[in-house]
Chains A and B, each alone.
Chain A
Amino acid sequence: MYRWIRSTHLCLGLFALLFLTMYGISGVIISHHPWFNLRPAVTVTLLPVADAIGADGRAVARELMAKHGLAGQIRAVRTVGDKIQLRIARLGEVYDITYPVDGTEAQVRTSRVGYLAMFNRLHIAGGLHHDYTPFNLWGFLVGVISVGLILLGATGLYLWFKLHSERSGRVNLVATTDVDVIGSIRELLDFLPDSHLHIAPYRPTDD
C-alpha cells in the first residue's frame, strides 16, 4: 500500500507539474502585478466584410472567422447607434470588432497577451459551458488537476504519517512544541486494563 501511494503521489505530481507551476506563477502575478508588465500588444486592422451581412453581429463574427482566420468564442454582441460591437476571445488573443451596419469593412482591434499574462488567462479560465471547444477542454483539464491536487495532498499526508522516523519520533508541525505522540499513546495503552492494541513500529519496505 505504501509503495502504491508513493508512486501515485509521484505520478500525480509529475503530471500536474507544469499546471501547478503555472498556478503558482500566476498567483504571484495576481498578488504582485505592479512587479510585471502585463500590457497586451494591440494592433488595429480593417477587414472586408461581405455586403449581404446586414445588421447581424453574429454573422459578421462568423464571416471574419471563416474568411480571415479569427478564432475564439463570440461574446458581447451589441448594437451601439448605427454600429455593431462584438468580441471574439480565446485565451491569448481578444478581437474587439466594430462594424457599421451595412458597411463593407470591420475594424478589428487585436489584443495579444504576453507570455506571463497568458498564465493569468489560464489561471482564471475554466468551466464546461463554453461554445468554443478548446475552452471546454481546458475546463476539463482544470477539473482533473483540481482532483489531482486534492489527491496529492491526501497521499502526501499518508506518506508523512507512515514514515517511521517521523511518526514514532517527535511531532513538530508548527515548531512550537515537541510532543512524543506515539510514546504517549503507548504509555496510555499500558495504563488501561485489558488493552488489546499493540502498536508495532512501521517499517516501509523501501525508502
Chain B
Amino acid sequence: MTGIVKKIHTYLGLLCFSILIVYGIAGLLVTFRPGPGQRRPPRGVMETVDFTVPPNLNDFEVAELAFKKLDLPLAPPPAKNQVRRDQHDNLGFRSFTANGLTLVTVLEDEQKLRVERRRTNIWAFLNSLHATTIRMRTTDWRVRAWAWYNEFAIWALLLMGVTGVWLWLASRPNHRVALVCLVVGSGTFLAFYLFGR
C-alpha cells in the first residue's frame, strides 16, 4: 500500500511541477508587491483601427463586432455589463487576460476604434495564470486547458498533503527535525488563523 501511495505522491508532484512553481512565484510576487499607493499600472500602447458601425445595432452588438474585428488573443468576448459609455459618451469595453488589460473605445464619428493595450510583465502574467480558474468566462482553448490544469493541481495539492503525511508516518515517524517542523509550522498557522479571525 505504501508503494502505491508513494507512486501517487510522486506522479502527482511530477504532473503538477510546473504549476506548483507558478504558485510559488505568485506567492513571492504578492509578498514583495508595493503598497496600493506605490503601484504603477503598466504603460499603455495606443493604436487606432478603422471600424465602421453598421446601422441599426445596439451598443452590445457594436461591442461584439468591435471585439471580432480586433481578434484579441486569449480574450473572452465582452459581457453585457462590461459595455459602457465614457465621459465623452463614447462606447467602450475592457478586456482582461493574463497578458494584461485592453481598453477599446468606439469612435463612431471618426469611424475608428481606439485600442489601448496595457501589457503586464512576466511576473504579473504568472500571477494571473495562478488565478485562472474554470469559473472564468473564456472561449480560448488555451485558457480553458490551463484552467482545467489549475483545477487538477488544486486537488492534487490536497492529495499530496495526505499522501505525504502517510509516507512520513510509514517510513520515518520518529524523525525529530520533521516533528519539530510540523509543530512549528502548524502552530504558527493555527495561531494566525485563530487570533486573526
Contact = CB atoms under 8 A, between A and B. Distances in A.
A binds B: yes
A30 B25 CA distance: 19
Given A138-B196, A142-B31, A157 B17 contact: yes
Given A27-B154, A128-B32, A173-B14, A90 B24 contact: no
Contacts of A134: 192, 195-196
A149 B157 CA distance: 11
B20 A113 contact: no
A153 interface: yes
A62 B184 CA distance: 34
Contacts of A145: 27
B54 interface: no
Interface string A91-123: 111000000000000000000110100100010
Contacts of B26: 146
A146 B17 contact: no
Contact of B20 (A7, A112, A149): A149
A16 B171 CA distance: 19
Given A113-B197, A143-B28, A157-B17, A17 B192 contact: no
Nearest to B172: A10
A50 to B, nearest CB: 28
A152 B177 contact: no
A16 B20 CA distance: 14
Interface string B19-58: 0110111111011111100100000000000000000000
Given A138-B196, A160-B13, A150 B24 contact: yes
Interface of A: 7, 10-25, 27-28, 30-33, 90-93, 112-113, 115, 118, 122, 126-130, 134, 137-143, 145-147, 149-150, 152-153, 156-157, 160, 166, 173, 207
B133 A118 contact: no
B175 A10 contact: yes
25 contacts: A14-B179, A15-B182, A17-B165, A17-B185, A19-B189, A20-B157, A23-B23, A31-B154, A91-B196, A118-B197, A122-B192, A126-B31, A127-B33, A129-B34, A130-B35, A134-B195, A138-B192, A140-B31, A141-B192, A146-B27, A150-B25, A152-B20, A153-B24, A156-B10, A156-B14
B31 A146 contact: yes
Given A7-B175, A28-B154, A141-B188, A91 B197 contact: yes
Q: Would you list the 6 A-B pairs with minimal beta carbon distance, nearest first?
A: A146-B27, A92-B197, A15-B185, A129-B35, A126-B30, A143-B31
A120 to B, nearest CB: 12
Interface residues of B, number: 52
Q: Which of B20, B21, B38, B172 has the most CB of A within 10 A?
A: B20
Contacts of B134: 31
Contact of B31 (A10, A15, A122, A127): A127
Interface string B131-168: 00111000000000000000100110110010011001
B13 A126 contact: no
Given A127-B33, A153-B13, A147 B185 contact: no
Contacts of B21: 150, 153
A139 B27 CA distance: 9
B197 to A, nearest CB: 3
Nearest to B168: A10
Given A153-B17, A153-B20, A126 B192 contact: no
A15 B27 contact: no
A18 B196 CA distance: 16
B181 interface: yes
Contacts of B72: none
